[in-house]
Structure 1
Amino acid sequence: MKKIIVPVDFSDHSNFALETAAILAKKYNAEILALHMLEISETILTQGESEIESETLFLLKLAEKRFNEFLEQDFLKDVTVVPIVKHFKVFSEVNEVAKEHSADLIVMGSHGSSGLKEIFVGSNTEKVVRNAEVPVLVIKNKPTALSFDNVVFASDFTESSINPYLKASQLFDTLGSNMHLVYINTPGENFNSTSEMEQIVVNFLQKADGNLDKLSEVDFISDYSVEKGVLSYANVTGADAIAIATHGRTGFSHFLSGSISEDIANHAALPVITFRID
């Protein structure tokens, strides 16, 4: 891991993301690309060309000053930070910046506190998750003891999840993480018998890895919802983070669609790492 992008909007949650990135940067000798996207209002864009240039230059200088002050924090000492200011606020563009700089990870803060789905829905974080071709680490709280020793990768083990699984395996091998694979079996039309679940996973691993070496590492959990099963399993295994596949068109894949019960969702405090389904 060499380059980490952190979109910054000067909020507490983007500060949590920046501090998280600093911890990772120090641990893996990586640099941080701190990205601030300056919003240019429609009013400015309807002015004359010279006025637009003058106003834009003023706003850029103001943003750069505030940005530099924001980056003068103790936890960034001994970390290489490259500030980037873009005069747009289109969060799909974060992926373009990631590709341009060959970034390995995007770290974003989110104030979502009502569950896995609500972390993303209707937020700028969701927009980044949908478009990012690199993994996105979503941080909800100030990091205290950041660790990725044990990570839960929840999947429906369908063919569309192979690429996210391979990306997750590569990332967590780099981080030295122990990746727990889990299949959540739920009542209703998605219910599968034990033999059906095992066959789904066998087919998946044969296609993804070309072998069944990790079959013994897959846990099969039954619960009333996927989200509840994932969070419960993460708690039981002492997970440091949850990894999931997301869909570029609609945010979450069908695997994590549907309602989320409030009592469980409010406890989704772990970092979430997303891998986009191509």
Structure 2
Amino acid sequence: MRRILVPTDFSEQARNAFEVAVAVARRTGAAIKLLHVIEAPSYNYAPTFSATGDIIAPYNNNMEQVYVLQLMETTRGQMEQLINTVEHKGVDVVQEVDVDKVINKIKRTIREDDVDLVVMGSKGASGLDEFLVGSNTEKVVRSAECPVLTVKRREPNFDVREIVLASDFRREVSQAMDRFKAFQSLFDARLHLVYINTPGAFESSSNVRQKLEETTEKYGLRNYSINVYNDSVEEEGIMHFANDIGADLIMMATHGRTGFSHLLSGSIAEDLVNHTQIPVLTFHIK
């Protein structure tokens, strides 16, 4: 792991994410980029004309430039304050402030900087706000081409000992397994494979255990446990199981569906990011 991206809005959760990113960087030797994106508003003012009637510059451009310059100055101060409040001695930290759409900039930075891991804070959401609005964190989880680690609460000593890997353990998980194994190895943690049995998609425990055993053999897993957990819905089952074993991290692969299919099917990974206090590591599979 060489590059970690930490998008920040200077919230408490974003600071917590930076703290976790520093802990991961200390173990891997990775460099961290702190990124803040300013989304400048658009105004519909009349343009400015010369004496001959030619357009010199739209008035809204002048207004936006002043507004953005003021924001940039404020943001630089906030960035310095953030860097100074998290102890990061020995970790290479760079900062960037840009004017763009948040998601577009994050996706472009992941691609252009060849980012290995995104660490983001999440405030969570519920009810109508979750359905209508969502969050930038959810959008990154849905679309990022690298693993995304979401953090809510402060984790001053981010030392992962117990990891939950929740999946249906079908063929698609193979795309993410190497990444998940690397994260387990990074912390020398115990991996708990869990299949959530629900009334709507019930399988016999013997069949599920056989599937999980085949998975462990196929990918050469070490230091693991195999678990079948019954619950009403998958998301709640994962959270209940993780709480039962005192998990430090939940790992999941996500299909990253968008648009109408996403509204119909939802995303368990995004639901977890919204509702659990435990850090969640997701990897978008195609």
For the aligned pair, the TM-score class normalised by the smaller chain equals 0.7 to 0.9
- Gapped regions of structure 2 (runs ≥ 5): 48-56
Pairwise CA distance, 1:214: 6.7
TM alignment of 1:1-20, pairs within 5 A: 1-20=1-20
1:194 corresponds to 2:202: no
Q: Residues 198 and 36 (structure 1 numbering): CA distance in 2 closer, same or farther, change over 3 Å?
A: same
Structure 1 counterpart of 2:203, which letter?
N
Pairwise CA distance, 1:203: 6.2
Pairwise CA distance, 1:273: 0.9
Counterpart CA distance in 1 for 2:93 and 2:271 is 39
Alignment partner, residue 30 of structure 1: 30
Structure 2 counterpart of 1:22, which letter?
V
| CA contact 1:140–1:269 (8 Å) conserved in 2 | yes
| CA contact 2:213–2:226 (8 Å) conserved in 1 | no
| CA contact 1:13–1:109 (8 Å) conserved in 2 | yes
Alignment partner, residue 241 of structure 2: 233
Structure 1 counterpart of 2:182, which letter?
Q
| CA contact 1:154–1:181 (8 Å) conserved in 2 | yes
| CA contact 1:92–1:128 (8 Å) conserved in 2 | no
Pairwise CA distance, 1:242: 0.7
| Aligned Cα root-mean-square deviation (Å) | 3.4
Alignment partner, residue 67 of structure 1: 79
Moved more, 233-242 or 44-53: 44-53
Alignment partner, residue 152 of structure 1: 164
Q: Secondary structure at the match of 1:43?
A: coil
CA offset digits 1:113-144 (Å, max 9, x no partner): 769xx69x701100111111111111111113
TM alignment of 1:242-261, pairs within 5 A: 242-250=250-258, 256=268
Alignment partner, residue 176 of structure 2: 164
Alignment partner, residue 82 of structure 1: 94
Q: Residues 276 and 74 (structure 1 numbering): CA distance in 2 closer, same or farther, change over 3 Å?
A: closer
Counterpart CA distance in 2 for 1:198 and 1:19 is 37
Q: TM-score scaled to structure 1, two decimals?
A: 0.80
Work out the number of aligned pairs and report it: 266
CA offset digits 1:180-234 (Å, max 9, x no partner): 111111112x00113432454466567x63x7x6798422222222223222322
Pairwise CA distance, 1:20: 1.4
Structure 2 counterpart of 1:154, which letter?
A
Q: Secondary structure at the match of 1:75?
A: coil
| CA contact 1:4–1:107 (8 Å) conserved in 2 | yes
Task: Report the identity percentage.
Answer: 35
Structure 2 counterpart of 1:99, which letter?
R
Q: Secondary structure at the match of 1:70?
A: helix
Structure 1 counterpart of 2:257, which letter?
R
Q: Residues 242 and 45 (structure 1 numbering): CA distance in 2 closer, same or farther, change over 3 Å?
A: farther
Q: Residues 42 and 259 (structure 1 numbering): CA distance in 2 closer, same or farther, change over 3 Å?
A: closer
Alignment partner, residue 93 of structure 1: 105
CA offset digits 1:49-73 (Å, max 9, x no partner): 6737843455434433432333222
Q: Secondary structure at the match of 1:137?
A: strand
Q: TM-score scaled to structure 2, two decimals?
A: 0.78
Q: Secondary structure at the match of 1:244?
A: strand
Structure 2 counterpart of 1:18, which letter?
F
Counterpart CA distance in 2 for 1:54 and 1:214 is 56
CA offset digits 1:82-124 (Å, max 9, x no partner): 1011211331431321222222211111111769xx69x7011
Counterpart CA distance in 2 for 1:150 and 1:237 is 8
Counterpart CA distance in 2 for 1:271 and 1:229 is 16
Moved more, 215-224 or 73-82: 215-224
- Gapped regions of structure 1 (runs ≥ 5): none
Structure 2 counterpart of 1:83, which letter?
Q
Structure 2 counterpart of 1:51, which letter?
N
Counterpart CA distance in 1 for 2:83 and 2:269 is 37
Q: Residues 271 and 113 (structure 1 numbering): CA distance in 2 closer, same or farther, change over 3 Å?
A: farther
Q: Secondary structure at the match of 2:94?
A: strand
Counterpart CA distance in 2 for 1:62 and 1:144 is 27
Q: Secondary structure at the match of 2:164?
A: strand
Moved more, 16-25 or 229-238: 229-238
